Amino acid sequence: MRHRVAVVWVAGLAAAVAAYAQEDPLKRLIEGAYALGQAGNHAQAADLYREAVRTAEASGDSRLPKALSGLADENDELGHYAEAERQYRRALSLVEAGDGRESPAYAAIAVNLGAHFVDLGQGAKGEGMLRESIGVLAAVLPRGDLHLTMARNCLALVAIGNRRYDEAERLMEQALEGLRQPESPPGLVAVTVSNLGALRRFQGRYDEAAHLFAESIASTESQLGNDHPLLVRSLNNLALTEVLLGHREAAEAGFQRALAVAEKRLGVENPLYGKILLNYAATERKFGNKKAAKALEVRAKAVLADNARANGAGMTVDRAAFRGR
């Protein structure tokens, strides 16, 4: 998965398309969409990727799988899971026809689809794709490659879910080792540190987990700003950990900030927003505030029901920083 780098969106989609439509318009569209996605502007990035798909289809350009995979990435971030899966599968089909299933290009897109399944809580479905892709990519790519880092992070999440904590730790150490270099893009280390925090929480090491989530949040803020969508899951995970530590005020503040960032950058219809509402509701119920808990649950269920009608929903720890470019 890819990292996000801040850019400024100034003049709207029509002007952006016109600006990029010079000398290789498809390249301009893909690069513009990529930059928008890095900045966390997922809806605008998806619009440019759609234009890139149309441009590639009209010209028969071989970069169509890249545009489709990019569009799928953004749809995943927006909670449009059914659309994302269709686009990943179409991209894979095109690459398989041209380069074959054993090619690095196929493996790179398969990493994103495998991560998509992990996000939806379908770890068993995604695990095989991730392991196969790691086998192909590790033979040809450097240790710090984004696809490998994402694949190892997502495979670690599967291992955590199956209580294979030693394997999860090894995978995250491999991911961090590849990222310990000056040229590592912003956000990547923060996401991996956040995932390590999730492991510590599952291990019952709550103080360590809270420290790691706080470190991830501070790193993301310093590199990408204080309202970047990458913050949402780390804030949510820190709040969940504060609940386990019995810190009610800190937990409530964390959920409230996570919801504020999610509402501003992802929208209240995003399933991630609904999941955080549910977590917040469970926290209020735990601390005896049943009236607030009920109100939050009603809001959460409405969001998730709307999304499930189109997709079937799921959520895990961050993967938004890692996108196959």
Pair 203, 165: CB distance under 8 Å: yes
- pLDDT value of residue 319: 43
- pLDDT value of residue 20: 45
Instruction: Please report which residue ranges of 79-122 form alpha helices under DSSP H.
Output: 81-98, 104-119
Model confidence at 307, in pLDDT bands (50, 70, 90)?
confident
**What is the tens place of the pLDDT at every residue in 130-185?**
999 999 999 998 877 878 888 898 899 999 989 999 999 999 998 888 777 666 66
- pLDDT value of residue 139: 92
**What is the tens place of the pLDDT at every residue in 184-194?**
667 888 988 99
Contacts of 7 (CB under 8 A, 6+ apart): 35, 36, 38, 39, 41
Model confidence at 315, in pLDDT bands (50, 70, 90)?
very low
**What is the tens place of the pLDDT at every residue in 83-138?**
999 999 999 999 999 999 999 999 999 999 999 999 888 988 999 999 999 999 99
- pLDDT value of residue 119: 86
Q: What mean pLDDT is reported for the chain? A: 87
Q: Is 318 a residue whose pLDDT tops 70? A: no
**What is the tens place of the pLDDT at every residue in 263-298?**
999 999 999 999 999 999 999 999 999 999 999 999
- pLDDT value of residue 292: 96
- pLDDT value of residue 143: 74
State the Cα–Cα distance between residues 174 and 157, nearest whole angstrom: 14
Q: Which of 131, 134, 146 is nearest to 69 (CA)?
A: 146
**What is the tens place of the pLDDT at every residue in 22-40?**
579 999 999 999 999 989 9
Mean pLDDT of 219-227: 94
- pLDDT value of residue 182: 65
Q: Is 81 a residue whose pLDDT tops 90? A: yes
How many C-beta atoms lie closer than 10 Å to residue 153's C-beta? 30
